[in-house]
Structures are given as structure tokens and as C-alpha cells.
Chain A
Amino acid sequence: MKNRFVLALIFCCVLLLSSCNRGSGTGKTVTLNVYNWGEYISDGSEGCLDVNEMFEEYFEENYAEKYGFSVEVNYTTYASNEDMYNKLRSGAATYDVIIPSDYMIQRLINEDLLLPLNYDNIPNYEHIDPDYKNLYYDPDNTYSIPYMYGWVGLIYNSNVVSEEDIGSWDLMWNESYRGKILQFNNPRDAFGTAMYSLGIDVNTTDHEEWQAALDLLQKQKPLVQSYVMDEIYNKMKNGSASIAAYYTGDFLTMYESNDALGFYYPKEGTNVYVDAFCIPTCARNKEIAELYINFLCSEEPAVANAEYTYYGSPNLLVRENEEYIEVLSEVHPDAVSLLYPAEEDKVTATYYHALDDTTQVLENDLWAQLKIESTQSTWIPITAWTIVGTLIVFLGFGIIRNKIRESKY
């Protein structure tokens, strides 16, 4: 009876193994490996379009005969540029399409990890806003096509923060909101807030300027409730914090569940980022990858992605899509002007460039100084050592008692 149970288990296991290998045997399906940020594409949840499935069908209809195979999109996700970089660098996995951010694209180009794109296969490139073409990381768009962009702005709770305090980065240093402020939990963005506030170039290599930024962050520390990343969503939504710097698209997501939240771009300037499609050198189906990129730049999928993420789309077709504008305006009355500001009130913003090695070391050192020199958590090591001490005393006592007992007998 139990024998049969084991046999059945093995049988199930074999069945499952064979089922997961589907498709590869027929030889008529080509897999396109797409590696993207988590939650960064319209994936069919909450009633939106499944863009990857759409591409498979689109390819089936238009190209299957020409190429003699059909395509299956294998979509996997990462949490940060660095995660993606490590995976790519290790040479372990092959990807056909990746979507890194600006500074990472520069780094990948410098390390010869990207393939130049063939624009004959990507005619939809013409729909990209010229403002987002030929940016610093890829001066003539040889390697990349912009996918999404966004700015960092300040999110505040209008029930707590008074209107006269808003407008600049100083809000994050305002004494009257002690314990209500959230700061980024990564060095680049946190130092960025201080540097913009001081009017320092965020890509500086000058040690004194970095030190000045650290001083400002240390001054801010007693006011900060906590250093967080994705917890910002919950803290801002439920009102346990009132001030945080984050991205426009994410503000719109938060606004959906808490309409007391407000948002502005600080007047001193802020950070802008662009994420762009690239094809790494390890790609196996470059042409299919280009078709995929081209497809995502066409109207319907681009609109679906922009509606899903709420980030800014550099695609002009998206901005002219009435349905999209309507959806955005329903989310927030000013959403359109926040994501696509008119010419006269353009956001003054700079990109983060990849820092050189010495500056990176300095940044990490200073960040460690900021995080370690904590005033309120001295009791943590004290309790920890007390517990360890008590344990050692008890153990020692037990051992000695045992020894004494043994010696008695």
C-alpha cells in the first residue's frame, strides 16, 4: 500500500517534469526571454491587457509564416538594476530584452554588454518624444529605446502639512513635522535629496560637497520617522507618515487609496530617470527582440503599460490617446500635467550618472556613518549583550554544577 504511494509520487513527479518542458520538443516555438522590473508591464491582472500574450498573437498573425515558427514570451522580473546587472554579468542566463535605467545603460554600454539596435525593425521609434531621444547615456540611441520615465517629487499629506510650507525640498527638513518624514533607504536617492536641497550637482566627485550633504542628512535624522523604500506606500496611504519623496507614478498609485495626499516637484530641481529597452550581447533572437520592442512602442500596448504603471510614457501616441488621458484624469485631476507638464512649467531635473569607483566608496562610507551613528538605538546592543551575558552565566553555572556533582560521586 505504502509502496504504491511512493510509486504514485514518483509517477506524479515524472509527469510534472515532462509537462514543464512543453513546447521545446516541437521545434516550432522560439522563446523570447524578457527581463523586466517587477510590476512594470500590463500583465493581465485587474482586468488590463496581457501585453506579452498580445505579442504572441501578433507575431502568430503577422510573422509566423515568414519565420516559420511561433514565439513564446518568457517573462521574468528583477527588483533592481544591480540585480539585473549581476545576473547578466555572471554570464549564466541569456536574455533577449532587458529594461535597465539610464545610468545602468551607460555602464552596460561601457562594458560592451549591449547590441546596437537595427532600426529597420523598429519603425515605431518615430513615435518617441524627441525630448527623450539622444540622452546622455546613449547619445544617438544606438543601444536603447525609452520605455518609461519619471521624476522624484515630494508627496505630502494635506491634512497635516500646511500649504505655505510646500514648494521646496526644505519641507523634508521642517522642524514642525518631526517624526512625520520618510527618507529613502538607499544612499543615492537619500544623498540626492540633500544635494538638490543644497544646490549641489548630484553627480559631483568633490568630497567636501558629499560631506556637506551628509551633514544635512545628519541634521535631518532626528526628524525622520524611518528610512524606507516600498513601505512608503503603506505609511503614506494610512497616514502614519506625512512627508516622503517618491516617484510621480507611485504617488498616483498612493493617491488612489488616500485622496488627502498632495504632490509637487521641488523648485530647486529633482531627479529624473528613464528606463529603456536594450538588447544584451547574450541575446539569441535579436530580430524577434526588436519586433517585440517595436510592438511595445505601438499604440495599444504602450497605452496599456502606461495605464498599468502610471509612469510617464515617452511615446507620443500614448499622450494623444484620449482614453488614456481620461483614465489618468480619473485617477487624479492633475495627473496629466504632473506626468506631461506643459512647455512653460517643465520640471528642472537631472539624471543620476554612474559614479566612479572612489566616489562610490565615499558614498557608501558616508551612508554607513549616517546609518550607524544612531542616537536612539543604544538600548538595542545593551539588551542583546545582556541576554548573551545571562545565557553565558547560566551555562557556566550549569557546567560548574555538573562538575561538582561528578566530583562527588
Chain B
Amino acid sequence: MKYISKIYVALVFMILYIPILVLMLFSFNATSNTGAFNGFSLYWYRELFRSPEVFDALKNSLILAISASCIATVIGTAAAVGIVKMKNRVFRSSLTAVTNVPMMNPDIVTGISMMLLFVAIGTFIGLSDKLSFWTLLISHVTFCLPYVILSVLPRVKAMDKSLPEAAMDLGCTPVRSFFKVELPVIMPGIITGLIMAFTMSLDDFVISYFTSGNDFQTLPLLIYSMTKKEVKPDIYALSTLMIIAITILLLLSNFSGSKDEIDRKRHQRMIRKAEKKSAVHTQNTGKES
């Protein structure tokens, strides 16, 4: 049984990671052949840094992903905090459901409907460029939002309600208590949401395909347009660099997450100690009386 479970785990990891490893391996290939490895070389990395098209697209993708994920994080965090504080239960649960729609919706539906909306509005206002960087940004913020809300919401729910109350009791304004007390508590959720939104936005193809204008081509769109001729290994090199960057990002976020876990455990220990003390104290006072 033990062996079977080990083999099972090995199999799962193989299926998950072998494609990536193959991609990494062939990014170091000396020729553009993907059938055979013809020797180690950094040729494609050099090529990558020389091709302006790919770099422009990468720059565009990063600009878009960073701005979309930041905006989505701000809006999403506010939404999550607001949803938890709602009094009306029916309204609250229906709002949660509604915010999840962009996530459950097939990308293609979101993409086409967004395009129709933008074109309609653009024609109405009389814009000459109906689709542009801004429409792309709006659509990316839209589909990133649910991921942020989904990762922040449980944090807000799990937060001890007495913490902000205590802060306000001690003279904080509500705004100050939000920034000083609530925000640090829900921060791990926000960071997770930010990273999720960033990666979702970075690799989105379908929605970008429909909502991008002529002035802004993201990396997935560029790679797709290359498939008429062959996709050259400099894209493998780029993918390898991106995988490494994302792995580092994930490790960092995990590290900060675990640190937070330690903090929370210490915190809980302290609370338990204090409770014990006070329990002993009340016992003692009970005896005395």
C-alpha cells in the first residue's frame, strides 16, 4: 500500500511537471528542433533578448497584469470587507454569488459580451478607437475581481470582530482602525488574491483576444499569432524565465504565509496563557470569598 501511494504521488507530479521540464530543457537546445536535443546552448536566450517584438509584448503583459491585479485587489478587498459587514443575509449571499459570476462564466462569453459592450458604448460616445488599453484593463480587472474577493473573504470572516472594536474603543477612528488593525490581519489573503489576480491576468488569452485594441498586444496574443509559422524556441526561453520568476514569487508568498502562521500560533498561545491565568485568578478569588 505504501509503495502504491508513493507511486501514485510520483505519477501525479510527473504529469504535472514533466511538460514544464521538457520546455525548460528545449529552451537550452542548440537548434530549433524539438525532436532531439542537439547540445546545450544559450542561443535562444540571446535571441530572446534581441527580439523587440517579444519584449514589447512581455512589457505590455506585465504592465497590464500589474495594474489590473492592483486595481482588482483594492476593489476586491473593499468588496470583501463590505460584504462581511452587511446586515441583510439574503442580500449578502446573493451579492457573493453575483461577484462570482465572472469567474464561473466561460471566458469566451465574458470576452464577447465585453467587446459588444465596449463597441456599443464607444459608438455611442463617438470614440474613434473603441477598444484600447483601457478596455483591456477594465475586462482584466473584472475577471480578476472574484479571485481577490474569494481569497480575502474568508480572512475577513475569520477575523476577530472584537479587534477593530477594541481599537475604536481605545480612540481610533474607523478608518484608522481599518488600516492599522483590520488590514494587517487580512493582509495574507490580500497578497494571495493579488498574486492570483496577477497570474490570471498575465496568461489570459480569450478575453484579451476580444477586448484588445490595435495599440496593445499582450504576450499570449503574440504567441498565438506566431502559430502560423512555427513557435520558435525563444518563446520556450521566455516561458522558462517566467516559470522561474513565478516559482520565486510563490516561494516568497508561502514563506510570508508561514511566518504569519507562526505569528498566529504565538498569539493564540499567549491568549490561552492569559485565559489560564485569569481562570486561576478567578478560582483564587472565588476561594477567598
Contact = CB atoms under 8 A, between A and B. Distances in A.
Interface residues of B, number: 51
Contact of A44 (B36, B51, B74): B51
Interface in B83-109: none
A325 B115 CA distance: 47
A337 to B, nearest CB: 23
Contact of A77 (B31, B32, B225): B225
Contacts of A91: 119, 123, 130
Interface string A20-46: 100000000001010101111001111
B156 interface: no
Contacts of A16: 62-63, 66-67
B171 to A, nearest CB: 19
A402 interface: no
Interface string B5-49: 000000000000000000000000001111110000000000100
Interface stretch (B226-234, B246-254, B271-279): B226-234
Interface in A182-200: none
A230 B119 contact: no
B34 to A, nearest CB: 5
Given A3-B179, A13-B67, A33 B215 contact: yes
A39 B228 contact: yes
Contacts of A33: 214-215
Contact of B31 (A45, A95, A257): A257
Contacts of B67: 13, 16-17
A346 interface: no
A331 to B, nearest CB: 14
A233 B232 CA distance: 11
Contacts of A46: 47, 50-51
Contacts of A2: 183-184, 187
B119 A12 contact: no
A233 B224 CA distance: 16
B204 to A, nearest CB: 17
A16 B137 CA distance: 13
A74 B215 contact: yes
Contacts of B183: 2-3, 6
Contact of B213 (A10, A79, A80, A92): A92
Contacts of B212: 93
A37 B228 contact: yes
Nearest to B116: A90
Given A3-B179, A253-B229, A92 B222 contact: no
B122 interface: yes
Nearest to B230: A233
B52 interface: yes
Interface residues of A, number: 50
Given A45-B51, A76-B214, A94 B129 contact: yes
B285 interface: no
Contacts of B119: 90-92
A79 to B, nearest CB: 5
Contacts of A284: 128
Interface in B113-158: 115, 118-119, 122-123, 128-131, 133
A336 B62 CA distance: 43
B79 interface: no
B219 interface: no
A93 B122 CA distance: 11
A179 interface: no
Nearest to A250: B229
Contacts of B213: 92-93
B130 A93 contact: yes
A50 interface: yes
A388 interface: no
B201 interface: no
A4 B187 CA distance: 12
A174 B252 CA distance: 58
Interface stretch (A116-124, A128-136, A207-215, A234-242): A234-242
A3 B60 CA distance: 27
B222 A38 contact: yes
Nearest to B31: A257
A78 interface: yes
A260 interface: no
Contact of B231 (A13, A44, A230): A230
Nearest to B179: A3
A238 B50 contact: no
A50 B51 CA distance: 10
B214 A38 contact: no
B74 to A, nearest CB: 8
A399 interface: no
Contacts of B50: 44-47
A9 interface: yes
A8 to B, nearest CB: 11
Given A77-B225, A79-B224, 8 more contacts: A37-B228, A38-B224, A92-B119, A93-B130, A93-B131, A237-B35, A239-B35, A253-B229
23 contacts: A3-B179, A6-B183, A10-B70, A13-B67, A16-B67, A35-B214, A38-B224, A38-B226, A43-B52, A44-B52, A44-B53, A74-B214, A79-B224, A83-B225, A92-B213, A93-B214, A229-B228, A230-B227, A234-B33, A234-B35, A237-B35, A238-B35, A257-B31
Interface of B: 31-36, 47, 50-54, 60, 62-63, 66-67, 70-71, 74, 115, 118-119, 122-123, 128-131, 133, 179, 183-184, 187, 194, 212-215, 217, 221-222, 224-231, 234
Interface of A: 2-3, 6, 9-10, 12-13, 16-17, 19-20, 31, 33, 35, 37-40, 43-47, 50, 74-80, 83, 90-95, 229-230, 233-234, 237-240, 250, 253, 257, 284
4 tightest A-B CB contacts, nearest first: A238-B35, A38-B225, A45-B51, A77-B225
